Structure 1
Amino acid sequence: MAKVYLVRHGQASFGKENYDQLSPRGWEQGRVLGRWMADKDEPAAIFGGDLQRHRETVEAIAAGFGSQLPDMQVAPGFNEFDHVSVVSRYRPEWSDREVMARDLAAFPKPAAAFQQAFVKAVRRWASGDYDTEYSETWRDFQTRVLTAFEEMIEYADGGDVLVSTSGGPIAVVCQYLLGINDERTLGLNEVIANTSVTRVLYSAGRRSLSVFNNYSHLEAEDPALVTFR
């Protein structure tokens, strides 16, 4: 069976003006993954969303891989949901970045405080009770991701594929493959590590989850490289 490697992007720049770019640690995570993959597989095609962190993750993987990889084909269906909109609907005052930074700075661990608010914001969005407030509902997001996933498999035509994407799309694909409910799917999203690999096997109409959220390549290189935001 052919393989799809769903890779969550490297660590982005939390708290910076441009969150979408990789942090220095994110670049290193990508290079480590590239070195790890070089001994195992060479994808016939590479897909990714149109976010900067998706593209830069592929660039970092290619640097670590050490030989030419296919050019990344942009598939916006693999983009993450609009987390800024989702959070600001839960905490409207945080649409002002300065207010959010000030509020979070009051906590001993600002990143952890943001994560707690983020989880609540996402669950509010996915509940379906406030759909009129969002330009893309949870159901719309699921449909977008799964359409991109099936179109990618059709294009790959039996070849191995690497997809640079985000935690949300990976969780939705796992939901599709495992038949789990929304609550468990959101729980999966909360534990997907940066540059972790989720592997899907496919053949004709069959799709099977083989590996979820493997980041052993980071642990083997330096446990400090393991991040979740």
Structure 2
Amino acid sequence: MSTSICLIRHGETAWNAVRRLQGWQDIALNETGREQARALHSYLSSPAFQQSVDAVISSDLQRAWETAEIACQHWDITIERLPGLRERGFGKLEGQAWDAAGRHGPDQPDDTVDIDYAVEGGESLRQFQTRVLDCFETLSQTHAGKNLLVFAHGGVIDMVWRKLNQQALNAKRTHAILNTSLNFFNIDEDLNWTCTQWGQLPHLNTALDEQA
């Protein structure tokens, strides 16, 4: 029996737009992020989205759960908020520009990065991935055989992608993780992970076509 998970990144925030490290800072969506969430709602509530949804689960940071609330407003489902789905904690670097954070920023992985290094007040890559994977495996057991919609963060999606593709934590990632992208995978009762679809944005493509 497998648990099916659709993992969705939150909409854009003002800090995303200027590439500032957010981490555990509770930054709200900006208007672009809300528009993205509304476009996602249009897709999820349309016949184009054919998957049933048994539960909606979100990071407890407002950029994630606000995206979930907007996107899932057509369902009578209470959104469960879990701290285990938070973005990586960047400690004293939070609020700084990604470029200022250098090799410890979220888009700078390479084989020289120490996956056990944690900035003061933050998490190492290894600690972060352990938290994230433990959270998903617990969800797969508490919601065994169900279809879950999970709203989280770019770093969380990156950790899941590395697990599914057996990529090292300090391996270079060649693709972007876009706001409100949909990523589908399964976890079975023996905790085997399999990817089904990745990086889907049908709702934003549709919205752009409608505005053309």
Give me the TM-score of the superposition, normalised by structure 2.
0.79
Gaps of 5+ in 2: none
Alignment length, in residue pairs? 194
Corresponding residue number in structure 2 for 1:175 = 162
State the one-letter code of the partner of 2:205: E
- The correspondence for 1:62, drawn from 52, 62, 72, is 72
Q: CA deviation at 1:29?
A: 0.7
Distance change in 2, residues 1:118/1:60 (3 Å):
farther
Of 172, 193, 199, the residue aligned with 1:213 is 199
Deviation at 1:126, TM superposition (A): 5.1
- SS at 2:11's partner residue? coil
Q: Does the 8 A contact of 2:89 with 2:122 survive in 1? A: no
Paired position in structure 2 for 1:48:
58
Superposed displacement of residue 211, structure 1: 1.4
Q: Which has the larger radius of gyration?
A: 1
Contact 1:54 1:165 in 2 (8 A): yes
Aligned with residue 121 of structure 1, among 104, 120, 137: 104
Mapping 1:161-200, distance limit 5 Å: 161-184=148-171, 187=173, 191-200=176-185
Q: In the aligned structure 2, how far is the partner of 1:119 from the partner of 1:69?
A: 44
Q: Deviations over 1:97-130 (max 9, x none)?
A: xxxxxxxxxxxxxxxxx44445633248952474
- The counterpart of 2:125, out of the listed 135, 138, 151, is 138
Question: Letter of the aligned partner of 2:153 in structure 1?
Answer: S
Shift in Å, 1:34? 1.8
1:23 matches 2:2: no
Opposite residue 3 of structure 1, the aligned amino acid is S
In 1, distance between residues paired with 2:101 and 2:38? 28
Identity %: 25
CA pair 23-142 structure 1, distance change in 2 beyond 3 A: same
- Deviation of 1:159 (Å): 0.7
- The DSSP-based 3-state class of the residue aligned with 1:80 is coil
Runs of 4 or more, structure 1, over 6 Å off, are none
TM (norm. structure 1) is: 0.73
